[in-house]
Amino acid sequence: MSRRAPRGNLESHRTESMHELSIALSLVDAVCEELPRLGEKVSIRRVLLRIGPLAGVSADALACAFEIASSDSPIAGARLEIEQADGRALEIAALKVVDAAADC
């Protein structure tokens, strides 16, 4: 039961991508909020996200939107990894982080 808009239906395709972009912006905000408790100089390598079939989010569109949404943020460069979950789940399960000092 895919919500993906058929080709040529620009209006609903736009709406859908905008939806995932909104979700992606919320996701980036939610990850950035975690930064202070992770330590001073930390860089996020990977975001592990769990999405349920009833969350109303397309994983492909979200992965694409995440790149755009995160590009100009403190978590730029982080990769999004999406895992199937149950129900309406739309949660950040875990973050893979490295202490930035180690990169120097």
As measured in angstroms, the least distance from the Cβ of 77 to other proteins is: 13
Kindly compute the dihedral angle of the four CA atoms of residues 76, 82, 10, 54, in this order, to the nearest 10 degrees.
Answer: -130
For residue 27, what is the enclosing H or E element? helix 10-38
Residue type, 40: E
Nearer residue to other proteins within complex by CB, 41 or 71 = 41
User: Is residue 76 close enough to count as binding other proteins by CB under 8 A?
Assistant: no
How many whole angstroms separate alpha carbon 57 and alpha carbon 16? 9
Residue type, 52: G
User: Is residue 29 close enough to count as binding other proteins by CB under 8 A?
Assistant: yes
User: Is residue 68 close enough to count as binding other proteins by CB under 8 A?
Assistant: no
Which residues in this chain contact other proteins in the complex, by CB under 8 A?
A: 1, 3, 11, 15-16, 18-19, 22-23, 26-27, 29-30, 34, 38, 45, 49, 54-57, 90-99, 101-102
